[in-house]
Amino acid sequence: MKSVRPYLIWLGIAVLLTLGAIRGMQWVRDHPEHIPTAPFEIAHPQGWATHRKLVALADDDAACFAALNRAGAGYERRPVVGTGACRASQRMVLTGDKFVPTTRPANAAPGCAVTVAMALWNRDVVQPLAQKHFGQRVVALENLGSYNCRKIAGQQAQSQHSTANAIDISAFILADGTRIALINDWDDADVRREFLHEVRDGSCDLFSTVLSPDYNQAHADHFHFDMADRTAGWSVCR
């Protein structure tokens, strides 16, 4: 039996590598949510690179608002406030509830990156869990504010609230008017507790920091969410 000529072996390898490269490029085109260099789109599903892209938006006003524009989101920008470590240039308010439920009070004006993260959070975490546990949608969110020029309690580091790169969510309002509040329902042995704990757990892949009543007494009545840019992209979820 004659042996296979070496050039035929190399030809076969080349063909396989070419086919693999073609399939790889197709996969990249079909899954931009996994590619750090692909433009961020709100419509994309969450992927390996989603959190990194959201963090990058916090430092790129133009890119962040462009993502909202491409998604067709209505919003109003708020004036830049503060200076230095307390300068907040991305403050905004969505003008509809297409991406995030109505917020109460409505003047919180979190930064663009936090708002975009909340749009994914609402789509992938809040509404699916509300349907799972209550069979209805969340129509409003109560918050304790966004912009606040201050340091983290007990630390020298500046809080993400100092640039409006954070928001504190205290309650969820269902379509039938039911109010689910962290201060009342976090430890109750019923479906409200399950909902709140699953919302916390489901938030961890989106936000850089997720702090709940399990963290400390200062967070007994709210979730703290922010898009902090940390070394190596590590996050905090407690």
| CB-based contact 189:178 (threshold 8 Å) | no
pLDDT at 1: 47
Residue 75 predicted with pLDDT over 60: yes
Residue 10 predicted with pLDDT over 80: no
153 confidence band (pLDDT: 50, 70, 90): confident
Residue 105 predicted with pLDDT over 80: yes
pLDDT tens digits, 137-149: 999 999 999 999 9
Write down the residue that tokens 């640039």 correspond to: 163
* 197: helix, strand or coil: helix
pLDDT tens digits, 31-50: 799 999 999 999 999 999 99
Alpha carbon 162 to its chain centroid, in Å, reads: 19
Residue with more model confidence, 18 or 47: 47
pLDDT tens digits, 178-234: 999 999 999 988 999 999 999 999 999 999 999 999 999 999 999 999 999 998 888
How high does pLDDT run on average in the chain? 92
Question: Which amino acid, residue 21?
Answer: A
Q: Report the Cα–Cα distance between both ends of the chain, in Å, rounded.
A: 67
pTM of this structure = 0.89
Residue 162 predicted with pLDDT over 90: yes
Residue 20 predicted with pLDDT over 70: no
Residue 96 predicted with pLDDT over 60: yes
**CA–CA separation, 181 and 142 (whole Å):** 9
